[in-house]
Amino acid sequence: MTEATGIGAAVKRREDLRFITGAGTYTDDLNQPGQAYAVFLRSPYARAKVGAVDGSEALAVDGVLAVYTGQDTSADGLGDLPCGWLVKSKDGSDMVSAPHPPLAVTQVNYVGEPYGLVVGETLAVARRGAELVNTEFIELPPVAVLGGAARADPIHEGLAGNLAFDWELGDQAATDAALAGAAHVTALEFANNRLIPNALEPRAALAQYDAVSGEYVLRTTSQNPHLERLVLSAFVQIGPEHKLRVIAPDVGGGFGSKIFIYAEETAALWAAAKVGRPIKWTAERSESFLSDVHARDHLTRAELGLDADGKFVGLRVRTTANLGAYLSTFASAVPTFLYGTLLSGQYRTPNIHVQVQGVYTNTAPVDAYRGAGRPEAAYVVERLVETAARELGLDPAQLRRRNFIQPQDFPYQTPVALVYDTGNYQAGLDRALELADYPGFPARRAASERAGKRRGIGLSCYIEACGLAPSQLAISLGAGVGLYESGEVRVNPTGSVTVFTGAHSHGQGHETTFAQVVSDQLGVPFDSVEVVHGDTGRVEFGLGTYGSRSLAVGGSALVKASEKVIAKGRRIAAHLMQTTPDNVAFQDGAYRSGNQQKTIQEVAFAAYVPADYPEDLEPGLSEKAFYDPKNFTYPAGTHIAEVEVDTQTGAIELVNFVAVDDFGRIINPMIVDGQVHGGIAQGVGQALLEHGVYDEQGQLQNGSYMDYCLPRADDLPSFLTDLTATPCDHNPLGVKGCGEAGAIGAPAAVVNAVTDALGVRDIAMPVTSERAWRALQGVAGEGV
């Protein structure tokens, strides 16, 4: 029996063979004849005027080809890096988007900001040259601490309070009234800690310019090469779109950090034309820490009101979101539309009001990272709900049950704009409680106590909104691009199939999953379907991969294109079988009419060798489709963490983690499970280990793996995962998206468990041993 390969089968990934044998081709693995190397000049200060940049000593070094600065890119008319989402403040005014030149011209605004580059024959020579550039800086007082930004001098000229926007959503008067009349109000104030994404492959670019054809080629670490091309052409104005080719070859993880259009890739492409040589740039990890976008970094005060029956009556949230020194590509959307809209969680909370002030600071730009706004929202809701249950002496699971949106409530209109399509939250909670052996917890806790340890359990019933959509709505809310996806299904003359998708795989396994979808649709062998992605020269258009959108949006586009192929094939088959198309049925890769049959391969051959062919039909069997979703999808689930704390040292051991998720229909359960694991690890990282810390001078205090604590194998347990399924009712696959769930659900579950173990109301993330120890001792002080 052959192994199952269709929808629902745990097909082994076809991309793996190249990765396990070292044959993957990541950007830094590629080389071009005659390539030179770029090293960027970066600001050592958080805020400073840039004076004269003297490159003469550098240029005297044998092999240094050029020294460029922001003055040069500016003189050449290179445009600014734009923020692609216009948020309006509550007074109706547009957000303030500070100019963001690819290379700083007159002022630098964060440590590590590039203001120039040195191009050399070798990397060593370029580095040597960069060391010899003399730059005059006039230091200015930085605004490095989020809490003080509103009172500090403006970073950007004329920008009072460093406020980019003051946004709100929901009914303030009704929410205030609901809270005023509530029988109980639970309030918490906390920070959502700054994270640094840390895809294991650092960003890189291999940039080329052909002076004869005028064509630019940029091979780079991108999650969305078409968007990169669009921005480089339309905004940065490097060259016309048809003369720009962006290729994202194998990409070593992204988690959001490779969505954005960055300074270095842009400047490298521009410089390749200036020096007339291909240019390679690969970030060192320390550069990644300084100049990749960072994430989260909120200060929040939130209040949940409950009536005497423990029903939620109102939720009020006030958040200050750190945006960093400039607005990155989607920075403004993350703490607003991807955050405020999720505050209803899985609950029937009738009144919600959220206000978000987005502020500039002299730190690296902050933008989307796995979950992007939704982990912050889930943290607010699930920390509040758990705390309210403890304050009221209720079982946290029971309080959640009492407030869940019920299966019969769907579609459910929340008070914060979204319409949830499908879900069954009770089912997820029940299964998670079962897997976590919730009833057995008191006995386990008692056993831990006998061993001198504290044990705690914490729940998190998260919701997320994936596959941002539809385009018209998103654009009306400020998006600068549509949010559809494109796909092309090309049946070749011999019947094999080449699939082109605008989504991009950088670990998600699309080459396997998308082949499963198309082989299933067309009834052709899995091995006869090839998936092409990541190259603007081969794929028509695309918006890339982020927000767990690839399958729900990109996969749906492929279903649409497949349906068009089948429809055209039906006409060809009908002609060949001398009948009409409505007499022809298509199933399992064959057209049938009566006892006649034509396989799709035979039909494809007839389409390309049209000897006997319908007169009014074009030859060929290749179809394109754009799919624009009707709504977001709404994955949801329950995560349960159990921890044990050593009372002597404060060391926290995550002893069990259960995740039960509803992702709708599943294409490849093996890949889905892997996505959940990875998300949980990043969520646990946020809760217990990770924190990007700037000092008051705006210097990043932990810009390496020596001191930024990425989860390691022995920091984590194996996870217990399971699925429930309520298929999405508005996309053809019924899928919801699974990439971000772990990162969204885990932080609140872990902190709920830790606070339970320690017997404290709240504790700051990341809960390090020191913080836990201080809490155990009742010792004041933040800890680090």
Partner 1 sequence: MAALNKHIHLRVNGVSHALEVPANMLLVELLRQRLRLTGTHVGCDTCQCGACTVHLDGRAVKSCALFAVQADGCRVCTIEGIGGPGGLHPMQEAFRDCHALQCGFCTPGMIMRAIDLVERSDGLDEQAVREGLEGNLCRCTGYHNIIKAVLQGQEAMEADDD
Residues that bind partner 1 (CB under 8 A): 12-13, 15-26, 28-29, 61, 124, 128, 198-202, 250-253, 255, 284-286, 506-509, 670-671, 673-675, 677-682, 704-706, 710-714, 716, 718-719, 742
- On whether the CB atoms of residues 287 and 204 are closer than 8 A, the answer is no
- Taking the C-alpha atoms of residue 649 and residue 652, their distance in angstroms, rounded to an integer, is 9
Note if the bond before 442 is cis, omega within 30 degrees: no
CB of 655 to partner 1, least distance (A): 13
CB of 675 to partner 1, least distance (A): 8
How many helices and strands, by DSSP H and E, does the chain display?
A: 19, 28
CB of 684 to partner 1, least distance (A): 8
- On whether the CB atoms of residues 656 and 641 are closer than 8 A, the answer is yes
| Identity of the residue, 17 or 183, whose beta carbon is nearer to partner 1 in the bound complex | 17
Per residue in 578-601, is it b (16+ CB within 10 Å) or e — as a string? eeebeebebeebbbbbeeeebbbb
- Taking the C-alpha atoms of residue 244 and residue 239, their distance in angstroms, rounded to an integer, is 7
CB of 712 to partner 1, least distance (A): 5
CB of 199 to partner 1, least distance (A): 6
| Identity of the residue, 717 or 783, whose beta carbon is nearer to partner 1 in the bound complex | 717
| Identity of the residue, 471 or 769, whose beta carbon is nearer to partner 1 in the bound complex | 769
- On whether the CB atoms of residues 418 and 341 are closer than 8 A, the answer is yes
Per DSSP bridges, beta strands 36-42 and 114-120 are antiparallel
| Identity of the residue, 256 or 423, whose beta carbon is nearer to partner 1 in the bound complex | 256
CB of 559 to partner 1, least distance (A): 24
User: What are the residues facing 354 on neighbouring strands?
Assistant: 169, 317
**DSSP result, 86-137:** -PBPTTSPBP------SS-SSEE-STT-EEEEEEESSHHHHHHHHHH-EEEE
CB of 703 to partner 1, least distance (A): 10
| Identity of the residue, 153 or 707, whose beta carbon is nearer to partner 1 in the bound complex | 707
- Taking the C-alpha atoms of residue 376 and residue 360, their distance in angstroms, rounded to an integer, is 19
CA distances to 390, 437, 440, 453, 676 from 434, in Å: 21, 5, 10, 24, 19
CB of 243 to partner 1, least distance (A): 29
**DSSP result, 159-185:** -GGGEEEEEEEE-HHHHHHHHHT-SEE
CB of 732 to partner 1, least distance (A): 26
At 497, is the secondary structure helix, strand, or coil? Answer: strand
CB of 122 to partner 1, least distance (A): 10
Nearest CA to 247 out of 263, 265, 262 is that of: 265
- Taking the C-alpha atoms of residue 662 and residue 673, their distance in angstroms, rounded to an integer, is 12
| Identity of the residue, 620 or 669, whose beta carbon is nearer to partner 1 in the bound complex | 669
| Identity of the residue, 12 or 348, whose beta carbon is nearer to partner 1 in the bound complex | 12
CB of 654 to partner 1, least distance (A): 11
CB of 197 to partner 1, least distance (A): 8
- Taking the C-alpha atoms of residue 460 and residue 402, their distance in angstroms, rounded to an integer, is 15
CB of 602 to partner 1, least distance (A): 32
CB of 69 to partner 1, least distance (A): 23
| Identity of the residue, 712 or 761, whose beta carbon is nearer to partner 1 in the bound complex | 712
Per DSSP bridges, beta strands 720-724 and 652-662 are parallel
Note if the bond before 335 is cis, omega within 30 degrees: no
Tracing tokens 């810390």 back to the chain, one arrives at: 693
| Identity of the residue, 362 or 682, whose beta carbon is nearer to partner 1 in the bound complex | 682
| Identity of the residue, 174 or 716, whose beta carbon is nearer to partner 1 in the bound complex | 716
| Identity of the residue, 65 or 728, whose beta carbon is nearer to partner 1 in the bound complex | 65
| 503 torsion bin: left (phi>0), alpha (psi -120 to 50), beta (else) | beta
- On whether the CB atoms of residues 191 and 244 are closer than 8 A, the answer is no
User: What are the residues facing 312 on neighbouring strands?
Assistant: 306
| Identity of the residue, 238 or 251, whose beta carbon is nearer to partner 1 in the bound complex | 251
CB of 310 to partner 1, least distance (A): 35
- On whether the CB atoms of residues 155 and 365 are closer than 8 A, the answer is no
Note if the bond before 411 is cis, omega within 30 degrees: yes
- On whether the CB atoms of residues 265 and 224 are closer than 8 A, the answer is no
Quick one: tokens of 589? 């890769």
| Identity of the residue, 16 or 527, whose beta carbon is nearer to partner 1 in the bound complex | 16
| Identity of the residue, 390 or 506, whose beta carbon is nearer to partner 1 in the bound complex | 506
CB of 411 to partner 1, least distance (A): 33
CB of 710 to partner 1, least distance (A): 6
User: What are the residues facing 317 on neighbouring strands?
Assistant: 302, 354
Quick one: tokens of 137? 């800086």
Quick one: tokens of 207? 């940039």
126, burial (CB in 10 Å: exposed 0-12, middle 13-18, buried 19+):
buried
- Taking the C-alpha atoms of residue 771 and residue 784, their distance in angstroms, rounded to an integer, is 7
| Identity of the residue, 203 or 598, whose beta carbon is nearer to partner 1 in the bound complex | 203
Angle at 757 between CA 751 and CA 759, to 5 degrees: 95
| Identity of the residue, 22 or 393, whose beta carbon is nearer to partner 1 in the bound complex | 22
| Identity of the residue, 509 or 737, whose beta carbon is nearer to partner 1 in the bound complex | 509
Largest interatomic CA distance in the chain = 87
Q: What are the backbone angles phi and psi of residue 516, rounded to the nearest 5°?
A: -60, -45
